[in-house]
Structure formats: C-alpha cells, structure tokens
Amino acid sequence: MTRSPFRYFKTSPEIIRLAVMMYVRFPLSLRNVEDLLHERGINICHETIRYWWNRFGPMFAAEIRKRRVQSHAYSNWRWHLDEVFVKINGETHYLWRAVDHEGEVLESFVTKRRDRKAALAFLKKAMKRYGAPKVVVTDRLKSYRAAMNVIGNEAAQDVGRWKNNRAENSHLPFRRRERAMSKFRLERSLQKFTSVHSSVFNHFNL
C-alpha cells in the first residue's frame, strides 16, 4: 500500500494543491497567495506556502508531465528552440526552452553559457524524453548548428525570421513570474521553478 505524501499534514491535499498551483501559475507573491486564501477563509502563513511549493511543486509537475507525455506522442513533429538570459545574483545565466508546434513547453534548461556544450546538453535532455524531432526551428545562434552536427540531425534545422515566435512568446509568462518573485538567487532554484512552471503552464494550455 502506497503511503500518502500528505499523511503528516493537517491541511487537506486540495488546499495544498490550490495554494501551490496559484503561486506557480499566476504572477503572485507568497503574500498575495496568503491574502487570497485568507479571503476564502483559509488562514495559512506565506512561509507555509513556500514550504508546500518546495515540497509538493515537483510532485504535482511530475503528475502533469506524466499524463501529457502519454497523450502527446506527436510532440516530436516540430520543435521551436530559444534561449533567454536570466540574472542570478547579478550573474547572467541562460534559460533554454523547447516548445512544440502547439505551444507545449517540452523542456527548460538553465546553463551559465550558451555555447555548443550547453546546447548539446539541452538537446540531449529533451530528446531523451520526447525522441528526435522531425523539424527544429531555431534562431541564428551558431551553438544550435554545432550541437546538431554532433547529434547528426543538422538537416532538420530550420532558421528564418519570424519562424520562432512560438518559442519567444513562451518566455513571456516566465518573465512576468520572474518579476513577481523579485528574481532568483540560486541556479538550482531557477531550474526547479522553471520545470514546475512549465508543467503547470502546459496544464492550462488549450
């Protein structure tokens, strides 16, 4: 018999899930979520919400990802790849994102550089989960071409102006969320949040 991960918590799993999903999905601070729950008669401290998000956020994301991977076998038809810079304690990092033709965020990956090594690690991670794509739309960053030459699917790359708007638009919800969180302090915190945020974003993607 599988033990419930909520067995030591007095609060119901429905309220925990609601709090975590509100915090991840919308550009709200922890105190904003605390106020919204309080208005609904649920008295929860914002630090409790922080603890719930850290503990249960990855679990909820894994559940969503498992369901969507099983029902979205066609995600390897066309991928859109793009990267955006993120400041962590004043140091520039890069958030790579792979999006399929319907706007599903397939993979998010944080690195300190955007060279061939980083692009190769990003592509291998995405392909391990979803398989090799038939078409890969990218910008003119040379790291993509170099990484795809190593993999051997450089013929699948498609580069052109305006073709990669799908990936660029997928960064906008994260940017709004980043401002609400007053940025990030650790690389692993950024990687953890983007993975959870991507899965929750897909959950509401129609």
Whether the pLDDT of residue 71 is over 60: the answer is no
Torsion of Cα atoms, 118 then 124 then 130 then 134, to 10°: 90
Q: Do residue 77 and residue 64 come from a single domain?
A: no
Which pLDDT score, from 0 to 100, does residue 41 have?
A: 93
Rounded distance between C-alpha atoms, residue 170 and residue 113, angstroms? 21
Residue 138 lies in a domain: yes
Q: Do residue 87 and residue 24 come from a single domain?
A: no
Q: Do residue 199 and residue 104 come from a single domain?
A: yes
Residue 193 near residue 184 (C-beta atoms within 8 A): yes
User: What mean pLDDT is predicted for residues 186-201?
Assistant: 90
Residue 88 lies in a domain: yes
User: What mean pLDDT is predicted for residues 49-69?
Assistant: 88
Q: Do residue 120 and residue 183 come from a single domain?
A: yes
Non-local CB neighbours of 150 within 8 Å, separated by 6+ positions: 116, 120
pTM of the entire structure?
Answer: 0.84
Domain that holds residue 61: 13-70
% pLDDT > 90, the chain: 53
Which pLDDT score, from 0 to 100, does residue 9 have?
A: 86
Residue 5 lies in a domain: no
Q: Do residue 116 and residue 186 come from a single domain?
A: yes
Whether the pLDDT of residue 177 is over 80: the answer is yes
Q: Do residue 57 and residue 98 come from a single domain?
A: no
Residue-wise pLDDT for 72-129, tens only, equals: 556 778 999 999 999 888 889 999 999 998 888 999 999 999 999 999 999 999 999 8
Q: Do residue 66 and residue 84 come from a single domain?
A: no
User: What mean pLDDT is predicted for residues 42-55?
Assistant: 94
Residue-wise pLDDT for 14-47, tens only, equals: 999 999 999 999 989 999 999 999 999 999 999 9
Which pLDDT score, from 0 to 100, does residue 74 have?
A: 63
Q: Provide the number of structural domains found in the chain.
A: 2
